[in-house]
Amino acid sequence: GVDFLPQLVRVAGSPVVNAGIENLYMEAAAGTTDGESVFMANCAYCWVKGVESNNTPKKHVEIQSGAYSNEVRDSYFHDAKSFTSDRGYGVNIDLGSSDNLIENNILYHLHYAVALEAGGAGNVIAYNYQERTEHYELSWFIQSMGTHGAQTYMNLWEGNVAGMIDFDNYWGSGSNQVVLRNHLTRQD
């Protein structure tokens, strides 16, 4: 039989606290094929503000590994080197990260503007503007924002302008989401 035994994993070391980047322009160097523009893991109360990131090889901002109460705001994330699986993302919240605020950003010409993956609750994705998603299957109309991966729940999606918000039922459910006052254009 299957044993359902809870497990606890302690992350070695203290989290990074109260650190951020502001008013910075980033662009991937020619020939770069992997990596994120900003990678936030095991951090709390950190921020990205007023940042422009252009042509990322993988993701413009990756927030993961239990990151808690961080902000990404007032920034412009656009273009990517590739629009295949797990590439060309604007902001990705992953691996149980919670209470993060993604607010007032412009996300342009990306595979996936904002994605929540593999757990995480209490995140707020609010007042972002997304335009032009792209996928390697050119005829597909894919979600601009949403969940992708097992059981992200209790997140707020408010006031965004996007093509489509969708909650994954392929890799895992995305239940108990609140979608409030968004303008969904159904355009790609």
Predicted TM-score (pTM) of this structure? 0.90
**pLDDT tier at 186 (50, 70, 90 boundaries)?**
confident
What φ, ψ does residue 17 adopt, rounded to 5°?
A: -130, 140
Q: How far is it between the farthest Cα atoms of the chain?
A: 55
The confidence band for 134, taking pLDDT boundaries of 50, 70 and 90, is confident
In 3D space, the residue among 154, 127, 122, 157 whose CA is nearest the CA of residue 143 turns out to be 157
pLDDT recorded at residue 115: 93
Give dist(CA 111, CA 149) in Å, integer.
16
Distance between CA 89 and CA 61 in Å, rounded? 8
| Alpha carbon separation from 178 to 30, 47, 64, 122, 130 (Å, rounded) | 40, 24, 22, 10, 19
Q: How far apart are CA 162 and CA 165, in angstroms?
A: 7
* Average pLDDT score over residue span 38-63: 96
